[in-house]
């Protein structure tokens, strides 16, 4: 079984020992830092059960589970989820990774390279030819997530407020934000954003407004996307340095995540800037999904 779980959903695949996919299942969010351990466990259980049902298999048939879950980077996180999995699939061997690792395995079919993930948050992870790993970013919305959907939306809100104050250039984001949030004035953002518990997902939901404005020619929004692309490449470059990858060798780069997939202009800015910053980089579309990457890691455990 291969599992990919994050802040919005959990996907599980059941495969035979040759890697053929037999069934797919889905569950809710499984980043326990955001939804709580009980809810995360329920989401994984639902995804696992529905995948087994689709495959016509029982949990006792499962030999190996590779689960790539957001929020399990620390030893304590892994210990907590290892206990949870022991209740869900008692006989199976468990490989517990974070979601970036399975995304990288899927994107490169478990070959050396670097993946940058741009969704509500952002992170880059890479692996060299000896199996060494490195990561950059992934510090969450308070301390990082540069270049993510959340970060772009937050900067868009700030740019609209600066424009309203006369501290920044004019931007159509002012009108778009007012319409989207049903505000009489941008002054009303204060009770909306500070008067209730606003999640990063809620801020990130305004990301499409920046995309729309950029596509309509708004220069402030276009600048925000260029800056986001540069931040993502900073993370890729940091991983490359940590792994001491030789500048003379081709460097395989891939990308994934909801914000990446939905933003043509962000992708264009990234791909335009990448060869200037990393001349040895060769970009390729992800070869497989993160959950398929988890299946590949599970199969490798059987070898």
Phi, psi of 9 (to 5 degrees): -160, 165
How far apart, in whole angstroms, are the C-alpha atoms of residue 42 and residue 84?
10
Burial pattern 59-86, b for ≥16 Cβ within 10 A else e, equals eeebebbbbbbbbbbeeebbebbeebbe
Question: What confidence tens digit (pLDDT) does each residue in 142-159 have?
Answer: 888 899 999 999 999 999
- Predicted local confidence at residue 273, as pLDDT: 93
Contact 187, 177 (CB under 8 A): no
Question: What confidence tens digit (pLDDT) does each residue in 83-108 have?
Answer: 777 777 777 888 888 888 999 999 99
Detail the DSSP E strand segments found in 49-157.
64-69, 93-97, 113-118, 122-127, 133-137
- Predicted local confidence at residue 6, as pLDDT: 81
Indicate the pTM of the whole model. Answer: 0.85
How far apart, in whole angstroms, are the C-alpha atoms of residue 23 and residue 12?
8
Question: What confidence tens digit (pLDDT) does each residue in 43-61 have?
Answer: 988 999 999 999 999 888 8
What are the structure tokens assigned to 246, written together? 């030789």
Q: Is the pLDDT of residue 14 over 90?
A: yes
- Predicted local confidence at residue 88, as pLDDT: 74
Question: What confidence tens digit (pLDDT) does each residue in 195-254 have?
Answer: 667 788 888 889 999 999 999 999 999 999 999 999 999 999 999 999 887 665 678 899
How far apart, in whole angstroms, are the C-alpha atoms of residue 27 and residue 11?
6
Please give the share of the chain, as a percent, with pLDDT higher than 90: 48
Average pLDDT over residues 169-184: 92
> In whole numbers, what is the pLDDT of the chain averaged over residues?
88
In terms of Cβ atoms closer than 10 Å to its own Cβ (0-12, 13-18, 19+), residue 165 is exposed
Q: Between 65 and 77, where is the model more confident?
A: 65
């Amino acid at each position: 079984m291969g599992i990919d779980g994050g802040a919005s959903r959990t996907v599980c695949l059941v495969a035979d020992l040759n890697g053929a996919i037999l069934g797919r299942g889905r569950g809710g969010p499984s980043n326990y830092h955001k939804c709580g351990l009980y809810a995360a466990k329920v989401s994984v259980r639902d995804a696992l059960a529905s995948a087994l049902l689709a495959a016509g298999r029982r949990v006792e048939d499962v030999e190996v589970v590779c689960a790539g879950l957001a929020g399990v980077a620390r030893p304590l996180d892994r210990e907590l989820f290892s206990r949870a999995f022991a209740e869900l699939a008692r006989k199976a061997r468990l490989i517990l990774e974070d979601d970036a690792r399975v995304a990288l395995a899927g994107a490169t079919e478990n070959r050396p390279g670097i993946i940058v993930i741009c969704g509500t948050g952002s992170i880059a992870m890479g692996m060299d030819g000896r199996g060494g790993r490195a990561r950059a970013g992934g510090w969450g919305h308070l301390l990082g997530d540069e270049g993510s959907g959340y970060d772009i939306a937050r900067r868009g809100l700030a740019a609209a407020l600066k424009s309203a104050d006369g501290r920044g250039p004019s931007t159509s984001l002012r009108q778009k934000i007012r319409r989207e949030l049903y505000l009489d004035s941008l002054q009303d953002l204060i009770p909306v954003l500070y008067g209730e518990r606003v999640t990063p997902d809620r801020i990130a939901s305004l990301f499409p407004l920046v995309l729309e404005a950029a596509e309509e020619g708004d220069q402030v929004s276009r600048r925000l996307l260029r800056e986001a692309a540069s931040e993502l490449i900073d993370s890729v470059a940091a991983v490359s340095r940590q792994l001491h990858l030789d500048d003379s060798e081709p460097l395989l780069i891939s990308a994934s995540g909801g914000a990446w997939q939905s933003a043509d202009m962000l992708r264009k800015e990234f791909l335009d800037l990448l060869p200037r910053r990393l001349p040895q980089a060769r970009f390729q579309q992800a070869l497989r999904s993160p959950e398929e990457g988890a299946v590949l890691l599970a199969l490798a455990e059987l070898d």
